[in-house]
Amino acid sequence: MFRNLSYLIILLFCGAISLQAQEREYVIVVHGGAGVIDKLEKDPERSAQYYAALDSALTIGDRILSAGGEGPQAVMAVINYFENNPLFNAGKGATCTAEGTFELDAAIMEGKDLSAGAVAGVKTVKNPIDAAYAVKTQTPHVMLSGAGADAFAASRGLEQVDNMYFATPKTMEWIEKLKEESRKNGTVGCVVLDKQGNLTAGTSTGGMFKKQWGRIGDSPVIGAGTYADNNSCAVSCTGHGEYFIRHAVAFNLCARYKYLKEPVGQAADYIIHTELNANAGEGGLIAVDKNGNIAMPFNTTGMFRGYLYKEKGKTAVEKKVGIGKNMVIPNRSFSIEN
């Protein structure tokens, strides 16, 4: 079995890579969830849809960062795109609770001042990441939840929808059957190092399939699923949220980088392949450090992920996306524009 392979093999074949920076002008990394995706890799048509979505997300972020836009702008634009794409478990297409309803979480954090905002268990906000940003910028709080968060978002003029807006034909099947085998991958996240040298992290999710209503995972918990600090890294996580909360994964990575002086790739690999595996915690993360180094480890059979960066003094950008063990240069023939 995959989990019984040696640590070295895991590093080689799970995409747990660290890319060393060469005076990078800006960097963006995205993820669309980690999980069991063996069947997807064998379906060229469906795989192409995910590759295209990851490519488009990176392109959206690149447009903002290349023009000098700041990290929060890029992170929100990218996550808005994911939230509006039914392929992912965030916004439209979110997974459902055991009661057949939808409760969404999101968080965003800026590394320059450690300001952060999050919402949990929202039911009517079309784009939860926008509500999280509004909490960060328009309240003295860090997290709002449930009906209070929905009401706050409405009071700020954010678009509201009926709870069933988040359903797709597939999720309607889940609501009718609620079968364990009908799980979906897809928590989404984005981390950025912008031209100003600031780090930003954001995460959005529909949560765990068939979760108890009121359950909150790691995504909106600052330090567990989302964290950014200009003195270390920006991190967005995806996986079994209870374990990511217990291990404070996002902050843990930043602490190992900052205090143990571990490279971001080494710190991320240790947490994902040693700490979490020891406790049956499945998932992955994306991270970029203050120098533009990238890490994208996962301990499942795959993770939807991609990165783009531009080195100083160069005009071209480096961009790759991946689903399983491989990273590929996006095929423009199936790129979807926002």
Nearest to 52 by CA among 72, 11, 74, 81: 81
Residue 329 has a pLDDT of 74
Residue with tokens 């979480």: 105
Residue 21 has a pLDDT of 53
Query: 160-202, pLDDT tens digit by residue?
Result: 999 999 988 877 776 666 544 444 446 999 999 999 999 999 9
pLDDT band at 4 (very low <50, low <70, confident <90, very high): very low
pLDDT band at 325 (very low <50, low <70, confident <90, very high): confident
Residue with tokens 């499942």: 300
Max Cα-Cα span within the chain: 55
Helices (H), 100-168: 128-138, 146-155
234 or 280, higher pLDDT: 234
Task: Report which residue type is found at 263.
Answer: P
Does the reported pTM lie above 0.95?
A: no
In the predicted structure, residue 10 carries a pLDDT above the cut 70: no
Question: What residue ranges define each of the domains in the chain, with the CATH number in brackets?
Answer: 2-334 (3.60.20.30)
Residues with a known catalytic role: 187
Residue 177 has a pLDDT of 62
Question: In angstroms, rounded to a whole number, what is the distance separating the alpha carbons of residues 216 and 104?
Answer: 9
> Running DSSP on this structure, what letter comes out for residue 212?
P
Question: In angstroms, rounded to a whole number, what is the distance separating the alpha carbons of residues 190 and 286?
Answer: 8
User: Which residues 6+ apart lie within 8 Å of 287 measured at CB?
Assistant: 29, 191, 233, 234, 235, 236, 253, 264, 268, 294, 295, 296
Task: Report which residue type is found at 83.
Answer: E
pLDDT band at 17 (very low <50, low <70, confident <90, very high): very low
Count Cβ atoms below 10 Å from residue 113 Cβ, excluding itself: 10
Query: 44-59, pLDDT tens digit by residue?
Result: 898 999 999 999 999 9
- Give mean pLDDT, residues 24-39: 91
Nearest to 41 by CA among 335, 300, 337: 300
Work out the percent of the chain whose per-residue pLDDT is above 70. 87
219 or 4, higher pLDDT: 219
Nearest to 293 by CA among 255, 267, 271: 267
Pairing state between β 18-19 and 294-295 = antiparallel
In the predicted structure, residue 149 carries a pLDDT above the cut 70: yes
Query: 233-279, pLDDT tens digit by residue?
Result: 999 999 999 999 999 999 999 999 999 999 999 999 999 999 997 77
Q: Which two tokens stand for residue 125?
A: 């906000």
Region of poorest pLDDT, from 1-5, 53-57, 152-156, 320-324: 1-5
Residue 310 has a pLDDT of 95
Question: In angstroms, rounded to a whole number, what is the distance separating the alpha carbons of residues 310 and 55?
Answer: 15
- Give mean pLDDT, residues 82-96: 93
Residue with tokens 């301990």: 299
Q: Please state, in angstroms and as integers, the Cα–Cα distance from residue 36 to each residue in 145, 190, 273, 299, 332, following that order.
A: 30, 21, 16, 10, 26
pLDDT band at 95 (very low <50, low <70, confident <90, very high): confident
